């Protein structure tokens, strides 16, 4: 593992990269299957759309796009990665799907993937490593400087609930309806360095903070910071980490459009940020979004009142229209407006499937068919 030197690799402003953690399923009963190492070992793939790699357990696979200037480029890479995996999985009698959690898998059955970092995580975190068989989307936004990255990390933090509500796709855990829209983040919150970036004025203070944690024996790598949003110095990006993996690549691309448009808007308008005050309500607001999705009530520490996330999000999407036009991603942002108007996200789609099929095996099968189809009519109305 490369030691953190304090250097930040400058990248082109507002470039994007997306990572998706995906579920590998048995075609027999659509439970998770132990297939990742064998799948990658037999794969004939030239990397033209980005990377396909192992995650912490054998029931997961991670894909990551190439750095792209546009959301259209991200969507093209994601579709290429999807088609590559679908083809390879079909040869191995495996199904694949999105979603933030598998609805009914038994976590003790999971097997840790081979690798030094995975072994280290299992040794350090014990059973939490296997329970970390949850699936997220990470969005990278390019920054021109280290100081910009630290500023943007903190400026984006109040919008964490927005990304959660729009991406929520994990209402079921251990065969039980959790009543959460995103139960996945409860597993992430078990790790000691989860949460938000502390109040930091610039990159030098971030480096000082990291080395303090390092000297105390708490971290050895940037990867040990399980923050909701964190700088990624080796990529020259800020990484948004709170999204569940969507059920379709369309929603994944639309979430990337939101991240890019919002980052541009914040960097263009440079609003005053009060990270110290936001930290007082961050955990509550995150819980609200995970539990209630579009029905969440968010606490505004500046106005000292609660606001409905649905109204707040509607206003935000309107505010970002100019930035989306300049970035040529308006059509992607419009998909999120459709989702909001319908009050429909992937969690509600999964709940509808459970109401229809009355068993989670068929729900997971339906999610695999949806991912394989590669198409939706509208983001709020996924094909059945």
Query: Mind listing the pLDDT tens digit for each residue in 206-235?
Result: 999 999 999 999 998 898 899 999 999 999
User: What confidence tens digit (pLDDT) does each residue in 44-93 have?
Assistant: 899 999 999 998 889 999 999 999 999 999 999 999 999 999 999 999 99
Q: What is the pLDDT at residue 357?
A: 97
When mean pLDDT is compared across 50-54, 305-309, 379-383, the lowest value belongs to 379-383
- Tens digits of per-residue pLDDT, 230-260? 999 999 999 999 999 999 999 999 999 999 9
Residue 181 host element (H or E):
none
CA–CA separation, 82 and 349 (whole Å):
21
Q: Tell me: pLDDT of 384 over 60.
A: no
Using the predicted structure, report yes or no on whether residue 274 has a pLDDT greater than 70. Answer: yes
For residues 12 and 212, give the distance between their C-alpha atoms in angstroms, rounded to a whole number: 30
Distance from C-alpha of 172 to C-alpha of 134, rounded to nearest angstrom: 11
**Does the 16-373 domain belong in CATH 3.30.590.20?**
yes
Domain ranges in the chain are: 16-373
- Each residue of 148-200: pLDDT tens digit? 999 999 999 999 999 999 999 999 999 999 999 999 999 998 888 899 999 99
Q: Percentages helix, strand, coil for the chain, rounded to the nearest 5?
A: 50, 20, 35
Prediction pTM value? 0.95
Quote the percentage of the chain above a pLDDT of 90.
83
The per-residue pLDDT for range 181-195, each reduced to its tens digit, is 999 999 998 888 899
Rounded to an integer, what distance in angstroms lies between the CA atom of residue 177 and that of residue 195? 25
pLDDT at residue 383 in the model: 40
Q: What is the mean pLDDT of the chain?
A: 93
CB 197 within 8 Å of CB 153: yes
Measure CA 68 to chain center: 18
pLDDT of residue 375: 56
2-13 residue pLDDT tens:
668 789 998 999
- HSE, CB side, 13 Å, CA atoms: give it for residue 107: 15
CA distances to 2, 79, 283 from 373, rounded to whole Å, are 39, 11, 36
């Amino acid at each position: 593992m490369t030691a953190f030197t304090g250097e930040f690799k400058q990248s082109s402003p507002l470039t994007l990269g997306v990572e998706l953690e995906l579920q590998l399923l048995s075609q027999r009963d659509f439970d998770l299957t132990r297939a990742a190492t064998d799948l990658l070992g037999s794969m004939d793939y030239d990397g033209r759309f980005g990377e396909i790699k192992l995650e912490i357990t054998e029931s997961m696979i991670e894909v990551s796009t190439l750095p792209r200037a546009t959301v259209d480029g991200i969507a093209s890479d994601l579709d290429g990665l999807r088609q590559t995996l679908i083809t390879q999985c079909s040869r191995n009698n495996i199904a694949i799907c999105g979603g933030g959690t598998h609805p009914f898998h038994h976590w003790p059955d999971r097997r840790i993937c081979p690798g030094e970092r995975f072994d280290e995580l299992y040794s350090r975190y014990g059973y939490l490593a296997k329970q970390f068989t949850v699936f997220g989307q990470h969005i990278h936004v390019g920054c021109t400087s280290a100081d910009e990255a630290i500023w943007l990390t903190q400026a984006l933090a109040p919008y964490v609930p927005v990304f959660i509500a729009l991406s929520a796709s994990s209402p079921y855990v251990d065969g039980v309806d959790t009543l959460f829209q995103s139960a996945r983040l409860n597993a992430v919150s078990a790790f000691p360095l989860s949460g938000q970036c502390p109040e930091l004025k610039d990159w030098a203070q971030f480096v000082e903070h990291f080395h303090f944690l390092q000297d105390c024996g708490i971290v050895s790598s940037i990867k040990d910071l399980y923050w909701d949003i964190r700088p990624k110095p080796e990529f020259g990006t800020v990484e948004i980490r709170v999204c569940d993996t969507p059920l379709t690549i369309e929603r994944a691309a639309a979430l990337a459009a939101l991240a890019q448009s919002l980052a541009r808007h914040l960097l263009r308008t440079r609003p005053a940020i009060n990270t110290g005050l936001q930290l007082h309500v961050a955990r509550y607001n995150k819980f609200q979004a995970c539990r209630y999705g579009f029905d969440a009530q968010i606490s505004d520490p500046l106005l000292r009142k609660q606001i409905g996330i649905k109204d707040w999000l509607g206003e935000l999407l309107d505010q970002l229209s100019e930035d989306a036009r300049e970035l040529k991603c308006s059509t992607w942002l419009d998909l999120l407006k459709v989702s909001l108007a319908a009050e429909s996200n992937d969690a509600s789609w999964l709940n509808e499937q459970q109401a229809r099929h009355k068993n989670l095996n068929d729900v997971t099968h339906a999610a695999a068919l949806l991912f394989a189809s590669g198409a939706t009519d509208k983001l709020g109305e996924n094909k059945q």
